[in-house]
Chain A
Amino acid sequence: MSELDNRWSLPAGTSRASAGRRLRTVSLKRLKVRENMLAYAFLAPSLLLFGVFMFYPLLRSVYLSLYSTDPAGRVASFVGLQNFTALFSSGLFLDGIRVTALFALLTVPAGMLLALVLAALTHNLLRGKRLFQFAFSLPMVLSVGSAAVIWKFLFHPSLGMLNSGLELAGLVPVPWLTNPKWALLSVSLMTVWMNLGFNYIVISSGMQGIPDDMYESAKIDGAGPVAMFRQITIPLLSPTLFFVLVVSIISAFQSFGQINILTQGGPMDSTNVFVYSIYREAFVNFRFGTGSAQALLLFVVIMLLTLVQFKWVERKVHYQ
């Protein structure tokens, strides 16, 4: 600002006002550039990180997706859009999307509902509240890797604890991970459990943010607990629920660790979610071309999905 004053005072001695006006606009333009530069300087560190870890890999993926690679992963020759057409014609793309969508469908609603119910039940608890809160958020402290290894033992076809429990109860043991009909369900079960900690913490803290006087006045108006839950808790919790929904869907689309450890995409590709098939194509079979093509398609799918969420689902969200 002080600089602007200086410039303004310079032409004060001259008689023509129009010259002063011109000078003023020039200096304003300069000022704007200067301000922008400053903004970019502040943005530089994050732009650099984004550039190195996002934009460069993205451009590189586009480049790789148009080439074929030799068995050691070195670029071999230009193939145009062949990698993309191969994905569609071999069904790799549609199968991957189908399994991933199914996986999201099995994990997201169940995980959110379970966390919501548990949070609602513990919210008004007078005794042992801390204990239950601690127990329900516990899965969060485990990494995907260790959680998956634990569940692998539980799911073990002949020595697993789940099957021996079923046998004790006189039921038929379940081929948890070895039967294509069960495998995705088993992995989803484990994922729901694993995500419960995070969902529970976010939802119950969202519940704590709802002011008590609302409940009190509702109670005076004669509302029962179910009505209060439906008319007050859910609408006021909707921003939190929306957040959990978006994050859950993204994490469902990103799931990799538990699948790599529990099933490796098998049996019969029944758990071969999209990210896992990208991994297999690129880093096991060393076909970076098709791998990159798959990654770009996933990018498009997720962009559309997120767009839908923000455009339609967010309308139902009630911001206070």
Chain B
Amino acid sequence: MKRFGFRRLRFGRGMILVLAMFMAVLAGCGGNTGANTEATNTSSNNESSSDKGTDNTAAAPVKITWWHSMSGSGEKAINKIVTDFNASHPGIQVEAVYQGKYDESLNKLKASLGSNSGPDLMQVYEIGSKFMIDSKMITPVQKFIDEDKFDLSSLEPNIIRYYTIGGQLNAMPFNTSNPILYYNKDAFKAAGLDPENPPKTFEEYEAAAKALSKNGKPGAAIAIYGWFMEQLFANQNAEYVNGGNGRDQAATESLLASDAGVKTLVWWKKMVDEKAVANLGRDTDDTDSAFAAGQVAMTLDSTASLRKIVDAVGGKFKVGTGFLPRPEGVKEGGVVVGGASLYIMNNKPEEEQKAAWEFIKYVASPEVQAEWSVSTGYFPITKAAYDQQVLKDNVAKFPQFQTAVDQLHASSASNATSGAVMGIFPEARQIVEGAIEEALNGKKEPKKALEDAAAQITDKLKQYNATVK
């Protein structure tokens, strides 16, 4: 028996190394298998498309691939746009591929770099802008705008301002949104508040939230979403990073711990401490469902969720919408355009890039934008869309849609409301969310939490700037 045990021990020593290695490798592989398989899946499509693309003489249509991140009603609307486009443009075939949420699809794009498996046209969220430009893998749409003498004057100036970086339009905005206040009109009435006059300032918001809370159950909820912090900065006309919000030159320092940030987080934490605002985590889906179930009577979210929220509420109560609140006494400022834009990738043949531009022009047309806006809740990028009958009908049916548009037009023009630009924006957003959690949970004072987060972001900016030439 003793000998047996000894042999086992020897066997064990060999096993240790193998087991440990196995672990380390598994740990490393976990994340990217998904991305790789996706990339290889689409690669076969692309190879065939580039074959056809170079073959000029044949009448075969130019095939282009479009990676997007719209699910649910957005995906349905996208599929309709693509089908209509393919039917009306026999020379071009667009294939729309859903690649997961914005983060995931951007990661897949990164994984596809250096190979031919990437898309021709890529939908990237607004905070990926700087990365896309620095990656040098795109052809700025400005090139096609100039060549084509495409008229930008009918597009919303605020939207164009966001996406104009380095003096040119690098991508064509596609789906744009901004954050609004959602409130339950019936609950407002029951709590003795004016249902037609939603809170406009931090102070009013706090008072309303308190009035709506009863028996220690918070009457409002705000998701711990970094985007809200960015928007609340812009709403006070405060810049998020230095270098003219990263627009005049590459940002080197985060301004998170400035007065605007501290004021916002102190306000937020106070309401959580008073049990007037619930902390339901980072996911806006969770605050939306609590709102739709009538558990909280006030919340913040993107206009893009309006359709979903109104549908989820059904006829249970009347949904009101209002502007994003700002501290008392702040006059200037406004909201930053959120959403995503379309990039043309430069590793594809000229002909495919041109075809992608044709598609972009189609997508930016008033007819398509009106249709898109009605089916999703994103507001149209072109002012001409408001003349379309379907949009007029929709606004008559859901007057809440109008709030986001009014809010956009009420925003003053400045670097702050144009939106911050930095290459590490997605990561910075995570860091900010961590800081908000630290403050709300009482681990750190709001100012201290923001200072620590700002130092981290500044550090990451330094690393980023060092690796980008």
Binding site for B on A (CB under 8 A): 53-54, 57-58, 61, 68-74, 76-77, 156-159, 175, 177-180, 250, 253-254, 256, 264, 266-269, 274-275, 278-279, 282-287, 291-292, 295-296, 298-299, 302-303, 306-307, 310, 314, 319-320
Contact of B441 with A179 in the complex, beta carbons under 8 Å: yes
Identify 9 residue pairs between A and B in the complex whose beta-carbon atoms are under 8 Å apart, listed by A's number: A76-B467, A177-B281, A254-B26, A266-B437, A279-B31, A286-B110, A291-B28, A298-B24, A306-B19
Known: A254-B26, A303-B17. 19 other contacts (CB 8 A): A54-B21, A70-B467, A71-B131, A158-B289, A159-B293, A180-B441, A180-B443, A282-B32, A284-B103, A285-B424, A285-B426, A285-B427, A286-B110, A295-B24, A296-B24, A302-B23, A306-B19, A310-B9, A314-B8
Binding site for A on B (CB under 8 A): 1, 4-5, 8-9, 12-13, 15-17, 19-32, 35, 103, 107, 110-111, 113-114, 131, 134-135, 137, 224, 278-282, 286, 289-290, 293, 295-296, 423-424, 426-427, 433-434, 437-438, 441, 443, 463-464, 466-468
Residues of B within 8 A of A179 (CB): 279, 441
Contact of A299 with B20 in the complex, beta carbons under 8 Å: yes
In the assembled complex, the Cα of A275 lies from the Cα of B28 at a distance in Å of: 8
Beyond A159-B290, A267-B437, A314-B12, whether A71 also contacts B464 by CB under 8 A is yes
- Overall SS of chain B's interface: helix
Q: How far is the CB of A69 from chain B (nearest CB, A)?
A: 7
- Select which of B16, B24, B113, B278 is within 8 A of A61 by beta carbon: B24
Beyond A250-B19, A283-B31, whether A71 also contacts B434 by CB under 8 A is no
Q: How far is the CB of A288 from chain B (nearest CB, A)?
A: 10
In the assembled complex, the Cα of A266 lies from the Cα of B9 at a distance in Å of: 40
Residues of B within 8 A of A296 (CB): 24
Beyond A178-B279, A266-B437, A279-B30, whether A58 also contacts B24 by CB under 8 A is yes
In the assembled complex, the Cα of A250 lies from the Cα of B20 at a distance in Å of: 9
Beyond A71-B135, A284-B426, whether A61 also contacts B468 by CB under 8 A is no
Contact of B293 with A307 in the complex, beta carbons under 8 Å: no
Contact of B437 with A54 in the complex, beta carbons under 8 Å: no
Q: How far is the CB of A247 from chain B (nearest CB, A)?
A: 10
Contact of A72 with B110 in the complex, beta carbons under 8 Å: yes
Contact of B279 with A175 in the complex, beta carbons under 8 Å: yes
From B114, which residue of chain A is reached at the shortest CB distance?
A74
Contact of A74 with B113 in the complex, beta carbons under 8 Å: yes
Residues of B within 8 A of A267 (CB): 224, 281-282, 437, 441
7 smallest beta-carbon distances between A and B, as pairs: A299-B24, A283-B31, A303-B20, A158-B290, A178-B281, A70-B467, A310-B12
From A157, which residue of chain B is reached at the shortest CB distance?
B280
- Select which of B9, B17, B29 is within 8 A of A57 by beta carbon: B29
Contact of A314 with B21 in the complex, beta carbons under 8 Å: no
Q: How far is the CB of B382 from chain A (nearest CB, A)?
A: 32
Contact of B467 with A250 in the complex, beta carbons under 8 Å: no
From B440, which residue of chain A is reached at the shortest CB distance?
A267
In the assembled complex, the Cα of A278 lies from the Cα of B29 at a distance in Å of: 10
From A268, which residue of chain B is reached at the shortest CB distance?
B437
- Select which of A158, A178, A283, A306 is within 8 A of B32 by beta carbon: A283
From A283, which residue of chain B is reached at the shortest CB distance?
B31
Residues of B within 8 A of A307 (CB): 16
Residues of A within 8 A of B15 (CB): 306, 310
Beyond A157-B290, A159-B293, whether A180 also contacts B437 by CB under 8 A is yes
In the assembled complex, the Cα of A296 lies from the Cα of B28 at a distance in Å of: 9
In the assembled complex, the Cα of A57 lies from the Cα of B281 at a distance in Å of: 36
Residues of B within 8 A of A310 (CB): 9, 12-13, 15-16
Q: How far is the CB of B305 from chain A (nearest CB, A)?
A: 16
In the assembled complex, the Cα of A296 lies from the Cα of B21 at a distance in Å of: 9
Please indicate which of the listed interface residues B4, B137, B280, B293 has the most CB atoms of chain A within 10 Å of its own CB.
Answer: B280
Contact of B22 with A282 in the complex, beta carbons under 8 Å: no
